[in-house]
Structures are given as C-alpha cells and as structure tokens.
Chains A and B, each alone.
Chain A
Amino acid sequence: MQIVTFKAAGGIHALPILAVEELTRPVPVTPVPMADRRIAGLMNLRGRGGTVIDLARCFDRAPANEAGPRRMILLETADHLTEEARQLSVRVFREPVALLVGRILEIFALQPGELRPRPAHVPERFVTGVFRRGNDYVSLIDPMILIEDILQPQGTS
C-alpha cells in the first residue's frame, strides 16, 4: 500500500496515499468559533468551504504549539474514491476535509507484514497501526475514525 508520511504533533504519521487528493501549502483558514477544538476552521476549496482539522490538536499529548513549516493534506471525498482504494478498505468522508500537518516526508510502499497493531500506550483510536521506518516509529492514521470521533465526541450525547 502506498503511503505518505509527515510530521505532526511531535511524531511521524502516515496516511494511505489513496485517501489523499492533494498535498498543499497552507491556505488561509477561517476559524469557526465554538467548534470542536480539533477543527482549525474552514478553507476555500474552489468556492466552497472545506473543513480543516489540525492534526496536532488531535493527540492527547501534543506540544501546545506546532513549530516549523506546515502543510495541508487534502483528503479525497467519498464520491471520488477509486475502486482500488475501496478494495483496500480506505475510508474517507463525504465532504472535503483537509489535515493541517507539519513537514511532508516521503511517499513509499508499505509492505503488509511491516504493520503492527497500535501499542497500548497510544490512546488515539484513529491510529490503526504502527511500523518502523529507519530509526523512527510511524503511526498509520485512519482519517475516517478521526472524523467520526469529531462528529460524535465521546462523553457527550
């Protein structure tokens, strides 16, 4: 499976490339007052608002302020997902969503055997597995779990 790795929240993370539509420089984001704290705001996406999620704010123990350059990962929308992606059970949201992350690192093919289950000390449900890349541990993210978590915040009805 082709993946893209990037920095965020003091660690290295990965997304299936089939879930990604575009990697971009940050564009202006309009904050949405009183929205979930993980949401950075809305961006202009060809005349419509796309939701921007700040990945750093999705982790329990993330540094207060993300340092360094930032990038946006624009996710595919469900109606544009390829057949191949569906077969690999890549899931994305029906509306446009972008993740605000740190530096983009590399794109490469992850071998199925390399992925291990999420370790017990990682509380984030959206991390579906981890693997080693050189000296680093990389966590693979299922963006749809992340989005579902925001749609239905735990602890509230």
Chain B
Amino acid sequence: MEEPSVIREFVLETTHALRTVEQDLLILERGPDAAALGRVFRALHSIKGASGYLELVSIERLSHQAEALLDLVRKGARPLTAAMNDVLLRCVDHLRELMALPDFGQNADVGETVAALESLIRGEEVPATPATVPPPVPVSLPVSAPGTNGHAPHPRSVSVPPASPPVAPFVSSGPPAEPAGGDDDNMMRVRVKFLDDLLQLTGNMVMARNQLLARNGFADDPAFVTLSQCVTEVHKTIVRTRMNPIGTLFDRCERLVRDLCRQLDREVRLEISGRELQLDRSVLDSFADPLTHLIRNALDHGLESPAEREAAGKPRVGVLRLGAVERSGEVILSVEDDGRGIDPARIAESAVGKGLVSAARAPYLSRRATLDLLFQPGFSTRDEVTTLSGRGVGLDVVRTNIQKLGGTVEAEGSPGRGALFTARIPLAQALVSSSLISAIIVRCGDQRFAIPQTAVDEIIRLDSRTDLIRQINGRAICQLRDQVLPVVNLAEALGVPAAGEDDGRILIMMQFRDRLFGVRTGAILGVEEIVVRPLPELVRGVGLFSGHTVMGDGRVALILDANGIIQRQGLVFAGEDSDAHPSLAAGRNEGPQRLVVFNFAEDEHFAIPLEMVSYVEKIPTSAIKRVGAREFIQVNQRTMPLMRLDKVMSVGAMPACSDACVIIPARVSYPIAVLAGRSVRVVEVAERYESRLSDGHGMLGTFTHGDDLVMLIDLYHLFERHSPEKFHTVSQERRPAHILLAEDSPFFQNLIRSYLENPPRHLTIAGNGRIAWEILQARPDEFDLLVTDIEMPEMDGFELVRKIRHDERLRSLPVIAVTSLASSQHIDRGMREGFDSYLVKIDKEQLLKTIARHLDRGVRRRPGTEVVPGKAEG
C-alpha cells in the first residue's frame, strides 16, 4: 500500500473534487455551461488517474466510465440530459460511498452504475430514476440561496442575501441543510464526561506501563509487550473517538454569518477551507468563542454594507474566509475579510485617544506593535458601540482565550483591502491534554526535559565536530549544509548549572514554523511516549515549556517549547522576514535592528544588517592569496574571493597588520568574503539611519553609535561592483524562484502545484519532457529548478536530464526527479543521467525540503560548483 500521506492527499483531493463535481452537475442541469463541464471532466479525469495510480479498481472503473461519457458530452457527441445527469450524480454518490470505505471498496459491486454509464456511452436510453431519490450518503453541501450565480469553485461557498423587507427577522429563507442521518444505525451518543474519564484513566495506564518498563525484566516479557502495545492502541483509539473535524465548528459559524448578515445588512459569501482538520472536541469547543468573536468583528467592523462597497468600487458581495490548517505542529485558524481593512494610522490615533499609548511613543511603534494595539483591553476601532461587538468586550477577549490555549493571535491588513486575523495554537495543546506523543528525553544539568519529536529535525553529536559551532559576538551559530542557524545552550537558556562535562555535547536541531535552530543539551536519555499535560497556571508565564508529563519514575518532567525558546532567547534567523506578508514590507525598517559594525581604515566604521552575515572569522593577513588583481581567502576549506572596501567605494585603505577579520555574507549564492579590521561587533540600533546620505553607490546611509559615525553599506551593490560578471542578476533571492515542472498527469500536476503554493512560487508546467525541453531551450536563464517525472510521453525524464546535462547553458540547473519508479536500477540510472535528487514518492515535506535546499544552494549561479551528488531521498 502507498504511504499514508499520499492516501490522505488522495482522499482530501477526491472528496473535494466530488463536492465540486456535484455542484457543477447541478449547475449543468440549469443550462449548458462549458466551464462547469470542463471542471467536471477534469475532476473525474484526475480521480481516475490517481485511483489508477493507487490501484483502487472500483473507483477507477467508475471514474473512468464517467470520464468517457463526459468526454462525449464535451465533444458534443451526446447531449447532457436530465436522465444522464441522474446517472452521473448516482455515480458521484457511489464514488463518495467507496471513498468512505476502509479499503476504498476494492470488492464493492459497481456493476450497475458502470453498466448505466456504459449504455449512455453507447447512446442508449437508461430507465429514468425518480428525481427525488434521496442520496445514500449525507449531502454535506452548501445551500445555494436564491440569486447565487453558480460559479463557485470553493469548497463551501454560501451567498447570503439580506432578508427582503417583508421577511420577518430570524425567519430563515434558506436554512442550512441538516445532514441526513444516514449512518445513524452505526452511531451512538456518548457523554463527553465518560470519554474524559476514559482518557484520564488510559493516561494513567500509560504512565504505569512506562514505570514498569523502567524496571528490570518487563521490557522483554512477551506478555508485557503485548499489553504495552494494547495500552498504546487503547489510548490512541480513545483520542480518536474524541476527534471531530473542525468543519463541524465551521458549520455552526455558517448560521451565525447568515443571521448577522440579516441584522447588519451585509451581503457576504462565506468560504471555508480546511474543514477536514481533526481536533479534539474539547479543543474545538474552546475555539468556538474566539472564532465567533472574530466573525462578529469581521462582519461588524470589517465588511461594509453593499451600498458602501459599491460606492468604494468593490463587488457588492463581500467575502469572509474561514480557514484551518495544521502546519509545523500548530493549528492555524484564520478569519479573513475583504472589507474596509485595518489602518495602522487610525489604530495608533485611536489608541492615543484612549490612553493606551502615549502620543509621543505612538509614531515610533512598529507596524506589528501598532496592530497589536487592537488586542489591548478597551480598544475598539469603531467609535459607536454596536449591539454586536461593543459593550466593552473586544479583541482582547479573543487574545486572552487564545493565550489560554497557549497560542497567539495576530492581525494583518491594510486600509480598504480587508483584514486577516490569524490564531496559532500549538498542536500539543490543540490535540488535547492527555494526548500521547513521542518525545526525546534529554538531560540538562541534573534535570530531564522532554522534546516532542515533531519539533526535532535532526540530532548531532558534537564530540568530534565542535567546529560546527561558532560565535559571532556572543551569539552562537552553527553551519549546517550551507545554512547558518542560531544555537542555544539549553543549560544557559534555562539558567540551570551545567552538570558534568557532557553537557552541551548533543546538538538537537529544533524547528518551529520552518525556523530551524540548534539546542545544545546533555545526554539523550531515550525516546519515550509521554502523556502531555498542560502546564499549571502558576508556571505558565515562563514561556519556555509547553506542558509537563510524569515520567516512569513518577517524577515530573517539563516539555520544551520550540517557539518559547525562540522568543525568550530572541533568536535571530537569517533572512527572517523575507517571505513575510507583503504588507509588512513597509515596516521593515522600523523597530530595533541588529547590525554588524566593523572598521576598515582605523577610524572608519561600517555596518551591515546581522541577517546578512553568515559568520565572522579571524584570519592572519598572510592567508590572503593573490591571483592577478584578485585576492582570495580560504575559510572553512572553501576558497572565496576577498573584497576590500576601498576597492569598491571611496573609503580609506586598511593599514597593514598581521591579522584581520573576514565577514562571510549570508543569503548570497556567490559568497565574497568582506575584509574587516579587528573590531567587529554586533550592535542594536533603535533609531533609523539617516538615509538622505544614501549615494546610490553602495552606501545606504549613516548613523551615530556612541562617538562613532557608522556607514550602513549595501553589500549586494558592492558585490556587484566587485564581480560584475557573477551578479548580472542582482541577488536572485529577491525574486521568487521560478520552477519548471515536467509532469504529464494532471493529478500530480495539481498535487505538486498545491505543494508549491505556499509560499507562492513561480511555477511553469510542461505536459511532457519534450515541452519542458523546448521551454528550457527558449529561456535557458529563466528557471532556478526543474522538477520532473520520469515516465512521460514523447520525452521521458531520463532523456530530458541527459539533454540538460549536455547543454552548456543548462548544465548547472538543479533537477529533481519525482517518480514512482523506485527500483534500484531506476535510481542508479537516474543518478547516472544527472539528477540532483531522486524522490521515489510524493512526500510533500520531502519535496519541499529538497526544493528549498537546491534553491538555497543557488547551484545555478555558482559556476564551478560540483553538481551535488544525488541522494535517493526517503
């Protein structure tokens, strides 16, 4: 069987596709609609492709016949009749039933539906089925309210018109369809209390089991092993019984939106995504209040009345989006509207008026800090108190509620363009207290700490690799595969005395929201399944821990929180906000900035932002080698060109001395070491630099620090002057990477495209190898990366990569193969033909990591770099 993530992806995609197919079929019933027909055809085509790939025969048979029939309709060979639509809808229902079966109905009888489709393909009449036959499964479909124009590609899209005057309030003209209780016979209602108790009891069972495990003689006893596995399974099952899709919560919101629209005279289309995300019921319940509040806020303060919208040149119907997604161990809830938006200037003004911030300080608040004022108690953006969101309770309640769950909430938006509220809740909490997670137990000082395995990226022993860690002015960093990452010494961060010399010997790479950092700890004591308990309130303020657990010996251990460590330690990440919300860009220069300040001529000081520095190394000046007019230096077994500032801008020369520093820049594909004097330090400057002095030739401005006048320099610009031939495209990091995808199957095209949507990347899709080759020939410099299938019509992936490797202009293009051809001969051949990476399955994480790695390396723009030896990943 395929890997679970592929199956899950297939289920999500297909469930989604079936929903739109049903909607589109209903649209087609009203009249011909080529777009809807195209969508139905493609949806069924990709279901067929994917189910074929996964060898789900029943689903494949049905979707194949439906696709064949629709192809005829599309070509005009058959008219789409009501009877045909009946059969197609029946087919959709049938497919949905199969999707719900544990084995996808491998042995289910699909003969009747297939026969009906076949006879339609042959052009025969099928006996009409009564139109009122209830579908066999609950129709979890939105209500199309009167007046909706049908094109609605979103999963759930409800247009809620305001009540026409004669309709009394609360008389709903189109109540949401109640799910028909199709499965009722197999369901029973259980008191939540019982499940709570069960969960608590099994939690205790797990701990008792762990205690026994710690004793001698138990771990190997077969009976105990069985018992132990059962305990884990029981726990998992109970946790699962408590899970509900977040869609059930969103459903409740649908009604709320409808009612609020009536009350407030709004016209709103509600779009919901991520309804399939499963969460513990108690967590869902705790989301209800904040979510309700944010929706009220959006409808009351955000979205305008239809008249106002039209006057502002916006579509009459506003959009409200609710979303839920799980990412890097967090649940991210979002409420977004396209209403009047958020105006930081007005927020600041209003906050000053309310005495929340002093008039003197307000202009100096960063954009983020200004937006955060929204969540201050006593803040309300609209001056009038309305019946809905007024009454002194505001967004501060939302923040308090989310914080109780260990999460954070942020606002984003700009005037006239809508607002986005994002709440992030760590999954450990969101799963539920008492959930069972796998954790790495480490020793630090004389204490044990648990690190959830989901937060761990890699573990490195530093015994023989102490060179991995370096210091830049008091801040530790490590260099890992061309990435420079901050490092925290756990004992120091926690303020516990290091015990024994092995403290700090282990480097655990932890991650949080794609941010990777190292944590140095003492010995690793093992990996255990632990029962997560929330942190008692009295110690919650610490912020370094996400919870606690009771270990096998009956003692409490704390669970480390990656985000907490980042926050408490103020870790700086290279290129931190490079992919932040574009509207944040304006605020980039606000707030304190960390700069690396260095001298060149004795009394001339220069600065570059810390994010642009990879590391600093002391060198003897004798190590500088000359080749013609150029100078080179070898740092970390890597030779790179050396740049002297006086060669690229009009500044004083460095006096002769025996040793100096070199600054190795971060985020450049062609690193050039910058020669600096002996004084290199990191300073934090709160004030803005004086940018009037910018000369457009490498100097960005000046500021004073202490008694020194410091010149902020533009490294990229200077690099360009130093080596114009290497930098004909200025800092490729600034433009989004352009990826070429060669893939013939629409299913995989969509799959990969969806993977690459967030953050948005520029993607061009070629339907086969030959097309990809033609695109590359026409624009050899355009692409940063090629992702290709192997088996394709006309030209396969092997041939494509071979041609690329023989083309002077394309030779260094990173090429990743994504294929199901997993035999070692294929992999061998792939490596021989010149793939940089060969992924034998579609695993989103793996693919994204591989892509990111190749893009980071910037292999493309680094001439002479060896082609990274391909590894068979996964």
Contacts and interface: CB of A to CB of B under 8 A. Distances in A.
Interface of A: 28-36, 39, 41-44, 46-51, 53, 93-97, 147, 150-151
12 contacts: A30-B447, A33-B496, A33-B544, A34-B543, A34-B544, A35-B541, A41-B556, A47-B531, A49-B536, A51-B538, A96-B536, A151-B538
B339 to A, nearest CB: 32
B542 A34 contact: yes
A42 B539 contact: yes
A31 B497 CA distance: 12
Nearest to B206: A47
Interface stretch (B14-22, B29-37, B547-555, B835-843): B547-555
Nearest to B535: A49
Contacts of B548: 30, 42, 49
The 8 tightest CB contacts between A and B, nearest first, are A33-B494, A30-B556, A42-B556, A51-B538, A51-B536, A49-B548, A35-B539, A32-B539
Contacts of B541: 35-36, 151
B538 A49 contact: no
A36 B538 CA distance: 8
A32 B555 contact: no
A33 B496 CA distance: 7
B542 A30 contact: no
Contacts of A50: 536
Interface centre among B207, B545, B558 (most CB of A within 10 A): B558
Contacts of A47: 203-204, 207, 531, 533, 550
B550 A48 contact: yes
B537 interface: yes
Interface centre among B447, B554, B555 (most CB of A within 10 A): B555
Interface in B261-275: none
A150 B494 CA distance: 20
Contact of B539 (A43, A46, A51, A93): A51
Given A33-B495, A33-B496, A150-B538, A49 B533 contact: yes
Interface centre among B203, B496, B536, B544 (most CB of A within 10 A): B536
Contacts of A97: 538
A53 B555 CA distance: 17
A93 B536 CA distance: 11
Contacts of B550: 44, 47-49
A28 B553 CA distance: 10
B554 A44 contact: yes
Contacts of B556: 29-30, 41-44, 49
A120 B495 CA distance: 37
B152 interface: no
Interface centre among A33, A39, A95, A151 (most CB of B within 10 A): A33
A34 B542 CA distance: 6
A95 B538 CA distance: 9
Interface of B: 203-204, 207, 447, 494-496, 531, 533, 535-539, 541-545, 548, 550, 554-558, 568
Contacts of B494: 33-34
A28 B555 contact: yes
A138 to B, nearest CB: 26
Contacts of A147: 538
B167 to A, nearest CB: 46
Contact of A34 (B203, B207, B447, B495): B495
Nearest to B433: A48
A29 B558 CA distance: 12
Nearest to B533: A48
A124 B325 CA distance: 48
Nearest to A147: B538
A150 B541 CA distance: 10
Nearest to A32: B539
A96 B533 CA distance: 13
Contacts of A39: 538-539
A74 B535 CA distance: 18
A58 to B, nearest CB: 13
Contacts of A44: 550, 554-556
Contacts of A150: 538
Nearest to B491: A33
B451 to A, nearest CB: 15
A143 B541 CA distance: 20
Contacts of B204: 46-47
Contacts of A48: 533, 550
Contacts of B533: 47-49
A36 B555 CA distance: 20
Nearest to A152: B541
A78 B225 CA distance: 40
A115 B447 CA distance: 44
B558 A30 contact: yes
B488 to A, nearest CB: 13
A44 B204 CA distance: 12
A2 B555 CA distance: 33
Contacts of B496: 31, 33
Interface centre among B538, B545, B568 (most CB of A within 10 A): B538
B797 to A, nearest CB: 53
B447 A35 contact: no
A96 to B, nearest CB: 8
Nearest to A94: B537
A18 B829 CA distance: 78
A31 B447 contact: yes
B504 to A, nearest CB: 16
Contacts of A94: 537
Interface centre among A35, A36, A96 (most CB of B within 10 A): A35
B535 to A, nearest CB: 8
A65 to B, nearest CB: 17
A47 B433 CA distance: 12
B443 to A, nearest CB: 13
Contact of A32 (B203, B207, B531, B542): B542
A151 B537 contact: yes
A32 B555 CA distance: 13
A30 B544 contact: no
Interface centre among A41, A42, A147 (most CB of B within 10 A): A42
A48 to B, nearest CB: 5
A102 B535 CA distance: 27
A95 B542 contact: no
Nearest to A34: B542
Contacts of B535: 49
Interface centre among B494, B496, B541, B545 (most CB of A within 10 A): B541
A51 B542 CA distance: 13
A30 B543 CA distance: 17
B207 A33 contact: no
Given A32-B539, A35-B541, A94-B537, 4 more contacts: A33-B544, A35-B538, A48-B550, A97-B538
A33 B445 CA distance: 11
Nearest to B444: A33
A93 B15 CA distance: 48
Nearest to A150: B538
Contacts of A29: 556
A41 B545 CA distance: 13
A21 B207 CA distance: 24
Interface centre among A36, A48, A95, A151 (most CB of B within 10 A): A48
A149 to B, nearest CB: 11
B658 to A, nearest CB: 44
Contacts of A95: 536-538
A94 B494 CA distance: 28
Nearest to B545: A32
A151 to B, nearest CB: 7
Contacts of B207: 47
Contacts of B557: 30
Contacts of A53: 538
A97 B558 CA distance: 17
B208 to A, nearest CB: 9
A143 to B, nearest CB: 12
B437 to A, nearest CB: 16
Interface centre among B494, B545, B550 (most CB of A within 10 A): B550
Nearest to B547: A49
A29 B543 CA distance: 20
